[in-house]
Structure formats: structure tokens, C-alpha cells
Copies of this chain bind each other. A is one copy, B any other.
Amino acid sequence: MADGITPRASDYSQWYLDVIAQAELADYSPVKGCMVFRPHGFAIWDLMKTDLDARFKDTGHVNAYFPLLIPVSFLSKEAEHVEGFAKECAVVTHHRLRAAEGGGVEPDPASKLEEPLVIRPTSETIIWHMYGQWIQSWRDLPILINQWANVVRWEMKTRPFLRTAEFLWQEGHTAHATREEAVAETKQMLDVYEAFAQNILAMPVVKGVKSASERFAGALDTYCIEALMQNGWALQAGTSHFLGQNFAKAFDVTFQNTEGVREHVWATSWGVSTRMIGAVIMTHSDDTGLVLPPKVAPVQVVITPIWKTDAEKDLVLAHADKVKAALSPEFRVKIDARDTVKPGAKYFEWERKGVPLRLEIGPRDVAGDSVFAAPRTGGKKFGIAAATIRDGVRAALDAIQAELFQRALTRRTETLRTSVDYASFKEDVEKGGFIQVYWCDDAANEATIKEETRATIRCYPLEGQEQAVGKTCFYSGRPATHVALFARAY
């Protein structure tokens, strides 16, 4: 099916790839693991960026930009960090090419670098090196910096948006005088991510904290938001790390406090990436193609004029222009006036591309001074009078946004299971969805469960941990230390 979309029920992974291809969101590149963001896919990222950037600024952050290349020795400075990130990264060893024998070019041996550089897999090391030069006293704190950047983590098995060698993200890196302030910042940014995911992406998330095995390399605590995809797998959609004084100690960053005493600085880092686009696709789309929440839809409304005669064409196009003018600039509107494509084919095309609302305008709609509205989420088509077009479209888009959130929330709630023993847990894992259990924190048991079921602890939810008190671990039978959410995950 060259032009079709594999149904979710028959092959979920292929469905995901088909949705992306049919909506022209992304393409494969000639470089293993690196993808191309096509305009329609990149526009979604641009909308996410604009919204998030405003939220970061509202919470007092500023943007900066640090170098792409990091000396390899920097990675080794924080003991756990090097374990986590040195393994798979792109290493720059030469700074010049020369003509090769037999044609082409090759690295010039004379240009070998004294110290190799890695392309940043994340920027803690280079940023903390710089913070060491900028921070002297309590007056220099806090530093609340965010960076929008590309990063590279060499990946063998890749999947567009969800796991690619190069990806785009933002990374916040903050420096504070006290532990309390840094912890508060970590949690504040988790709340920012939660609000963004739920209100903008229409994607319900669970806020939680990671177990030690799933923690960011170098963090004392990793907080996360976890979403649930339609196939019952979880997806980590954003993380916020409390780094303690680890990086400050590794890079010797101290400040003179108000009493004149030198102390190490406290740190956080937090990030979301283009992976969010994959999460949105997998949360909302259907067998017809992409479904986008209106707030991140590059085109929110497509107007499809319908005509038979030239006279009708003039009439409906004039009406379409009028409607578009009334909707702009509040909404992102496109008129599809192509006469080489039949209306039915246009409908399918814009459905595949995830446009939330289609407005059909035929001669009868012109006569009635109205439009005929078809939401991408289905349901009955309905008319909107031209006189109230803005209110009508706003209400329709708000309803779609709310419906998408509600559908995803219902799906998550209906598939939530609570396993009481490992036997039922194993059965529940096969059904998909989050599994909530009482759990005694234990890395070895966690590893065994992952090995045997491919399910991992997605998080210890921030809410409801008190319920674990006095309970028994479903796996070990020991006293429970946490309520844990398990799931198979991307």
C-alpha cells in the first residue's frame, strides 16, 4: 500500500511510520540515524518552541548558546556522567579533509586534533565549565539559563522523532545558592512541562520521580512526566533533574555566600525534545492519518471551496477569501483552491496531514452566507454562519482540543491496572497500559523484571506515595517503599 496507512491493529510500528510519511512530517536521511524534519513536521516543533519559550521566560529564564563541541576530557570530570554519555557519541578527530588517492576526500592525517572533541550529547559539562568563570558571589546567583540546541547521541536502533542520533531540544541549566532553591526550580520546571503537555499537546501525563536505575547520569533525582501511547506503551516526555552539587564539585564552582564563606553551587537541568512530536502523533492519530491538537497544528483550519462552473468558482473563492480574512490572524488558515485536485482527494490529504477543522464552501454555503464544518476528530458536520465565524471556529477548535485530551485520559484510566503479584503483573504487562504496584525499591529486582517482561519503572508518581505505607511489595514481599508505575516504554 504505497499511498496508504497500515491500521494500528495490524502493525502499530508501521502505522506510526506511515502516518509520518503520509503527513510529510519527516524523511530518512543518508546519514544513519539522522532524520530530516520536513516543513510540516518542523512547523509543529516551531509552535511547541514558541509556547515553551514563553513559559520559560515567564518563570524568569533567559536563553543563551554554548558550543556544539566539547573536549572529551570534560565528559570524564563527573564520574557518573561519563558512564552515561561517553558510550555512544560522535567524536571529531580531524579538522581538515584532503584529496584521496583514487578520487574523493579523506581526513587529512596532518589535521589530527590533539584532544578529540565530542558533539554534545547534553551540555552540563561545558556549561558548568563556563559557570565556574561567571560565578563568584551570591550576587551572581541564581543563573537561570535555557538553550535551544541540537544534540547527538549515537543510536543503533532509531525511530523518527522518538529516537534519532541527532535531535533538537531545549536544555535548561540553572545554578542556585541553596539546595532548597534548586529543588524548587526542578519541581517548578516539571510543572511547566506538565501544563504544556496537558494544555497544549492535549496529552495527559503523570508527574513522578525516577528510580535510581532510570536516573539521569549525574543527577540526585530525576523528575519526569510520563505519557501513555495508544498501544499501551509509556513514553517519557520530559525530565527535570536535581543535580545537587555534583557538577559544581566536578568543575569546582563555588560562590561566596552572604557570610563570606565559600560553598559549592546547587544545580538543576531540564529538557524536552522533538520526541514530543512523536508522543503527539502516537497519542492522537488514527488509521486515517495524523491528528493534531489545534494548539500545535501548523494549519488549524483548511477551507476547501467546491465548484462546478467558472461562475461558481468565482463565487466560492470570493466567499473563501472573506472567511479566511475574518479568521486571520487569530487562526492559522489555508485555502486549498487547487483545481487539479478533486474535493474528495483534498479532504483525504488534509485529514492525513492532521488539520483539525475543515470548512467546506460550496455555492449553497455562499447563498446561505455560511460554511460547513468537519472536525478531524469525526462526528457530525455542522454549519457555521459567516457572521459568527470566529466564535464558531474558536468553539470548534476548543472542543477538539478538549476532546483529544479527554480521549487520551479515558484511555489511560481504562487501561490502568494494579497488579498484586508477579504472575498477574506478567499478564497485565501483555495487555498494555500503566501498572500500579506497591514496590520495595531494589535495583536488582527492577533489572530482573525488565529482563523478564520488558517493563520498567516509569516513575514513582508524586501524588499518592503515602498509600505505600504499611503495604507489601508485589514482587519481593518486603515492606513497600513506593507506589510505582510500571510499563513497557519507548
Contact = CB atoms under 8 A, between A and B. Distances in A.
B68 A46 contact: no
Interface in A49-85: 62-76, 82
Nearest to A150: B68
A375 B47 CA distance: 36
Given A27-B133, A39-B64, A92-B119, A104 B34 contact: no
Contacts of A168: 65
Q: What is the total number of copies of this protein in its complex?
A: 2
A26 to B, nearest CB: 9
A64 B90 contact: no
Interface stretch (A93-101, A233-241, A432-440, A446-454): A93-101
B38 A69 contact: no
Contacts of A133: 27
Nearest to A164: B67
A161 B290 CA distance: 41
A42 interface: yes
A31 B89 contact: no
A157 interface: no
Contacts of A126: 29-31
Contacts of A93: 91-94, 107
A184 interface: no
B118 A97 contact: yes
Contact of A130 (B29, B75, B107): B29
Contact of A72 (B45, B104, B129): B104
Interface of A is mostly: mixed
Interface string A217-244: 0000000000000000000000000000
A108 to B, nearest CB: 9
B71 A31 contact: yes
Nearest to A69: B31
A67 B97 contact: no
A209 interface: no
A35 interface: yes
A154 B95 contact: yes
B116 A72 contact: no
A152 interface: yes
A342 interface: no
A166 B90 CA distance: 16
B63 A46 contact: yes
Nearest to A129: B30
Interface centre among A75, A87, A91 (most CB of B within 10 A): A91
- The 8 closest A-B CB pairs, nearest first, are A34-B67, A37-B65, A39-B62, A91-B94, A86-B97, A95-B154, A93-B93, A90-B92
Interface of A: 27, 29-31, 34-39, 42-43, 45-46, 62-76, 82, 86-98, 103-107, 111, 116-119, 126, 129-130, 133-134, 139, 145, 149-150, 152, 154, 165-166, 168, 340
5 contacts: A27-B133, A37-B65, A39-B62, A68-B166, A92-B92
